[in-house]
């Protein structure tokens, strides 16, 4: 026994459901696209930084091969450690928990090696700069 008013009574609920489904699928699409853009950006930045280190290391290693006294033993040890860190970097697994740890260590070693080699500043546009402490400590 169909109630002739049944469909109109459920009108609100029906529209609510319809709107929800529409919003959900649209959100899914735009969210995916946004995530893709962030992934591309971050992936590019990480790749660029790793590539930068790789380039520096390859050059330094070649220089050492040509003359093994060219850099101090401490600098050479630092360069070797950077090489190992780069090999260990889980390039294909961005969710690996060691990603940040290895990147921090690479940056630390890079600073040390540059200082040992008396390199004042080599960097590229967008090279990550160490953030200074809060502005409130600026003066002292």
Q: Which of 54, 80, 86, 108 binds other proteins (CB under 8 A)?
A: 108
Task: Give min distance, CB of 40 to other proteins, in A.
Answer: 28
Cα pseudo-dihedral 48, 49, 51, 57, rounded to 10: 160
Contact 124, 45 (CB under 8 A): no
Tokens of 63: 């220089």
Residue 101 binds other proteins, judged by CB under 8 A? no
Angle at 58 between CA 52 and CA 63, to 5 degrees: 130
Residue 40's Cβ-side half-sphere holds a number of Cα atoms within 13 Å equal to 6
Tell which positions 57-86 bind other proteins, by CB under 8 A. 72, 74-75, 77
**CB of 86 or CB of 116, closer to other proteins:** 116
Instruction: Tell me which stretch binds other proteins (CB under 8 A): 21-29, 35-43, 55-63, 131-139.
Output: 131-139
17 binds other proteins (CB under 8 A): no
């Amino acid at each position: 026994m169909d109630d002739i008013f049944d469909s109109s009574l459920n009108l609100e609920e029906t529209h609510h459901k319809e709107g929800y489904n529409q919003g959900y699928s649209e959100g899914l699409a735009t969210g995916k696209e946004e995530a893709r853009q962030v992934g591309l950006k971050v992936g590019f930045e990480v790749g660029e930084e790793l590539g930068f280190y790789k380039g520096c290391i390859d050059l330094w290693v070649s220089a050492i091969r040509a003359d093994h006294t060219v850099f101090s033993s401490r600098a050479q040890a630092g360069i070797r450690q950077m090489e190992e860190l780069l090999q260990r970097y889980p390039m294909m697994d961005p969710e690996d928990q060691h990603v940040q740890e290895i990147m921090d260590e690479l940056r630390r070693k890079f600073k040390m090696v540059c200082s040992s080699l008396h390199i004042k500043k080599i960097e590229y546009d967008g090279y990550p700069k160490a953030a200074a402490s809060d502005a409130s400590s600026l003066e002292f």
